[in-house]
Structure 1
């Protein structure tokens, strides 16, 4: 309100001027311009009264364009709300009310920490009113009046938040149309909130508000608004430019005696350069403001995101003393309250004092506290295992399935970091608090939840928590029939994306809404199968296969069940030592899953693993790349990429994938084992042992890590340590295929042929492969049993040739062919195949130089040159990796 004596701008509800203390006319005495946001309400609610049977009126907050606004206590929900009571003449217009209803449908979709939440439009005894979130703070207009020009740091800090709120509204197709500092509240923590999307109109519903009606406040209206034309989000960008101008200069770019005069200036006059009014203004910020104020909307920034990006860039160049740091991150709806006005003042002498005190308080709130980056990190989340609250406590598999499915849905969002299930299940029934878990996993948010399942009824509670301050960003309870389980999973993932201000692509939304199956019995069997599959034990693998097949009996087109079979079949060969025929079964099941659902990342991962087992490196990479494209957080696919490149001998390509796996799954021992393995192949045994021991710190009985240490010791000639570790491995699995092979290899290196023979014979009883056939043949050869040795060599060569005929691109087959010839003294053939092995990616020169299988070549100059050649390759890759500081 402008003082008639000194022209000082005062808050709307102030009775005395803050500059000269002169009495101010009441709002009813002022003849307001007839724009939709400046008219005066007539109806009033009394403090202490109960309105609409549930709202206890606390105080009047202010007067908006559509009516008066009150602070009230919602006695039903036990929380404070703001109530906007519409003027009777506005409420009497049925078309206007219908327009509000339509607009509110869109406005209610905006759920963002920088937007005040709109609730409902209701009617009580002929009076229409809107309920909205209640936010405690001061409007930006009052701040500017009190403080004058804001610093560049404060301006950028507030403006970035406004951009974030606008970006979310624009994403949903909602334009504000009356953006002004009076509609932007700043709370005690310095968090900005955009108010009053009540006059917004959907871009997709033309005709709800007729073109030609002036909607907005003249000082902040875009040229196209002034002309009564249709507007889009770029109109809000113009209004944002006016606000930025006012923040840095203390005045609006255009003023006038009437709305018409101001409007003409918006259309035709060039604004005074803000830098002329504020010489401390950075030139880049000056240019951003002027671009926002372009008359031609095509020349403005085309989105709020573009403006924010520019502000972020500029912020990096301003003095650190000016960078604004919030006391804490913005709160969410239901945790923030709104106050529109200063306390009512009763004597003129106190007005100036109050304003000075308020200015000091706001300055303290918004002044720099420390130096830190304000750039938001990419969304990162960990989903804790959902708790089983079912009466019989027999739904753990269902709760784990709920956890798994939500993780999977979130993982498909590009640009997110989502901790995979393998890490999260370690926190089942944990006593650790969320801050400790967040630090261990390096995430910003955690989702926790519970499931209560009884017959066909399900109740799911979910809560998203920001770890830094334990604030709930979103929560909800679902009480549904079991048939709604997929809708619940999708809704939780979608609401999390919304709470974390992530815009999903149309493709992501489509995938999110897709049901895995229409048959709940099939889904139940699938979840039970997953529970067994992830235990990675032989007996559980067989149970998983049976349950996945059972699921397919109820839904023959259940893609996830086929994908589960593909995974399980592949594991039978690669982990449990079953014949390669299971790899073909894996490929068939995985391809069937893909045919049913081409968006299924899990199926491509299973297919890639089977291809890897067959030695088809290029196909494996292609399948895993597709899996990662569909789900960037598919930790198994990223690991498989690393292993494929490792076996191809391209360690510099393997390392980034293993590093990504570690970042995605930082508590999984296998992540550290992979890092140890790549360093072992890089001939850096100190680092290899360091990583492998980290894996064992997490899981002391982790067989793969123990095997990796054994290979390190053998390569370095530390036989006794290798023997000790191999015995530890055998103690864990006396009849284990891997344990027997490694124990036999250790004894072969040590020259203990009798013991080596026993281990390899047991191993071959389980499964014959190139490795154990060739190594046992060497033992017989050294013992003088040449006929037995040649039989084993012949069997090994058959397997090697079969692999090559089937298209294997890895080095194992040519390496063992070379070994067979080397043992028998056929050096020409040995070198021919050893070269093929090197060409196919064999790089283990350190272990190869010590391997007894190649002892007949050891003193040859040709062998030494070949090993030197491989060493040079490895050294070159290691240097490249060291340059990247892995």
Structure 2
């Protein structure tokens, strides 16, 4: 269950504690405590140094300590009761009461199903225009339908992210709460947003029931909620209505172009859409088998709707990732380029299609053409993380590390919760010999990586990336443990073998690193341009075995 609410009693207790600390901050008590502690310490230190020289009694410094201690509760009480502002000292008034709707906020997230829509609450603060879309809860009773509930939430997120005036938490960060218990204020604080969209999906007998609710994190109350119970073919209209209702609830004014951008127009065929969502659900594990499953699903979507540009773009991405991470065959590269070209022909205004086209050109080492496509994708949608990220990878592959750093920086700005771009930025700094910058990025990235692994302990890619980072900052034993876990989960996956090889290269175990690289190449790894510029492998380059390995790759 996604972001399920805590039991009522625990929720009330936590809410009371949160309200108490919020009131301390509002009345500036915490600031007074910190300032008083600093000032008190200075007074005690000065008195301990100065008073003995004035021939005062021996108990004088002790008296100062006692007076400072006695003054502390007085300072706290005065801070609670009074405030110092432009108008002088004034009494601090009580906080405004929270809206009455809070009575319904202790229900389970994504399960509440109101009978009718609620009116949007009044909001005017521009800083409140931020949102996280949590994965919708699958209420169908069949785990195989997870792809659909997740896909609906992701589609709504993708629509909202096209609005420049709305800050939208990334899928990477929002979906870490899938199946976790956390109340809405906690989720919002973790993701740095003011509002949270949660919901549930039930699909059966050709019908779909979707419940969605937009929640104000400050008050833990509903800004808007609605339940849709329609035929499956109406799923597109439901998504459009949810996106528009969020815009209305946040009191956002859209241009005609922005209003069109949040309308789902990729396909009008619900069956094709279902196949597309199934295909996309296989794209996140980075395994050969799942990429092949994704290709099958995208192909079925295209068979139903041969004008479905996003299905062609998805197929191109699957073939490109299959080429990069599992099977570097000329056939996969050619199929990626063909599918991406078709996606552009069908929808030249699709940022996703241009990003897919750029990726297919990048794996074929057509770097300038790839960057043209990435630039067009970014022009169409500046918040498309993949376009920034792929631009960085392409720049690094051709040895332009300065440009790669800038692209990775842009990717991090779009999605600060992502753990991949920082690693590659650190590699780029290493290639430029900028050790200080490399270590700063690696240390900063560790907290993001470790937090991600706490929420997703079986994420193989996060495991080996974190292992490399830990090794580079001197935590070899911790890194070795994570590398072993990654191998245990993906011992036959070329991308896992390659990255664990990078870990052992950093650790100084060159022979084991070469062993892993040879196994990776034997099983299909073949991105020669990347190996030739990967700073993780610099310690191996003079070894005959490494040079022989490069010669094996076409």
TM-score, normalization by structure 2 = 0.66
Query: Which of 218, 224, 245 is residue 468 of structure 1 equivalent to?
Result: 218
Alignment partner of 1:402 is 2:152: yes
Q: 1:651 to 1:554 in 2, by over 3 A?
A: same
Alignment partner of 1:539 is 2:323: no
2:549 equivalent in structure 1 = none
Greater mean alpha carbon deviation, residues 762-771 or residues 555-564 = 762-771
2:522 equivalent in structure 1 = 765
Which of 1 and 2 has greater Rg? Answer: 1
Displacement, 1:385? Answer: 1.2
2:130 equivalent in structure 1 = 380
Displacement, 1:721? Answer: 9.5
| Conservation of the 8 A alpha-carbon contact between 2:157 and 2:168 | yes
Displacement, 1:432? Answer: 0.6
2:305 equivalent in structure 1 = 555
1:95-106 aligned at under 5 Å gives the runs none
1:683 equivalent in structure 2 = 435
2:55 equivalent in structure 1 = none
Displacement, 1:381? Answer: 1.0
Alignment partner of 1:852 is 2:546: no
2:464 equivalent in structure 1 = 706
- Distance in 2, matches of 1:582 and 1:522, equals 23
2:237 equivalent in structure 1 = 487
Q: 1:423 to 1:384 in 2, by over 3 A?
A: same
Alignment partner of 1:737 is 2:483: no
Instruction: Give the match's secondary structure for 2:202.
Output: strand
Displacement, 1:510? Answer: 2.5
Displacement, 1:447? Answer: 0.8
Displacement, 1:600? Answer: 2.2
- Distance in 1, matches of 2:482 and 2:137, equals 39
Greater mean alpha carbon deviation, residues 720-729 or residues 402-411 = 720-729
- Distance in 2, matches of 1:588 and 1:768, equals 22
Q: 1:471 to 1:708 in 2, by over 3 A?
A: closer
1:324-363 deviations in Å (ceiling 9; x for gaps): x9966998985889xxxxxxxxxxxxxxxxxxxxxxxxxx
1:86-235 aligned at under 5 Å gives the runs none
Displacement, 1:501? Answer: 2.3
Displacement, 1:660? Answer: 4.3
Aligned residues: 431
| Conservation of the 8 A alpha-carbon contact between 1:378 and 1:415 | no
1:670 equivalent in structure 2 = 420
- Distance in 1, matches of 2:337 and 2:201, equals 35
1:286-685 aligned at under 5 Å gives the runs 334=119, 376-377=126-127, 379-390=129-140, 395-647=145-397, 651=401, 653-681=403-431, 682-684=434-436, 685=438
- Distance in 2, matches of 1:669 and 1:587, equals 28
1:878 equivalent in structure 2 = none
- Distance in 2, matches of 1:724 and 1:425, equals 25
- Distance in 1, matches of 2:339 and 2:462, equals 27
Instruction: Give the match's secondary structure for 1:395.
Output: helix
- Distance in 2, matches of 1:547 and 1:843, equals 33
- Distance in 2, matches of 1:604 and 1:637, equals 8
Instruction: Give the match's secondary structure for 2:127.
Output: coil
| Conservation of the 8 A alpha-carbon contact between 1:692 and 1:709 | no
2:44 equivalent in structure 1 = none
- Distance in 2, matches of 1:607 and 1:766, equals 26
Displacement, 1:430? Answer: 2.1
Greater mean alpha carbon deviation, residues 466-475 or residues 700-709 = 700-709
**Unaligned residue ranges in structure 2 (runs of 5+):** 1-84, 102-117, 545-554
Instruction: Give the match's secondary structure for 2:155.
Output: helix
| Conservation of the 8 A alpha-carbon contact between 2:298 and 2:314 | yes
| Conservation of the 8 A alpha-carbon contact between 1:672 and 1:695 | no
- Distance in 2, matches of 1:426 and 1:336, equals 28
1:471-504 deviations in Å (ceiling 9; x for gaps): 3222222232222211111111112112222222
| Conservation of the 8 A alpha-carbon contact between 2:134 and 2:198 | yes
Higher RCO structure, 1 or 2 (CA under 8 Å, sep 6+)? 2
Displacement, 1:424? Answer: 2.3
The root-mean-square deviation of aligned C-alpha atoms, in Å, is 4.1
Q: 1:750 to 1:469 in 2, by over 3 A?
A: closer
| Conservation of the 8 A alpha-carbon contact between 1:635 and 1:665 | yes
Displacement, 1:410? Answer: 0.7
- Distance in 2, matches of 1:335 and 1:529, equals 35
Instruction: Give the match's secondary structure for 1:569.
Output: helix
Instruction: Give the match's secondary structure for 2:435.
Output: coil
| Conservation of the 8 A alpha-carbon contact between 2:172 and 2:418 | yes
- Distance in 2, matches of 1:704 and 1:852, equals 29
- Distance in 1, matches of 2:317 and 2:350, equals 13
Displacement, 1:437? Answer: 1.0
Displacement, 1:710? Answer: 4.5
Displacement, 1:587? Answer: 1.8
Instruction: Give the match's secondary structure for 1:852.
Output: coil
**Unaligned residue ranges in structure 1 (runs of 5+):** 1-318, 338-373, 772-809, 817-841, 855-886
1:34-73 aligned at under 5 Å gives the runs none
Displacement, 1:394? Answer: 5.5
Structure ranking higher in helix proportion: 2
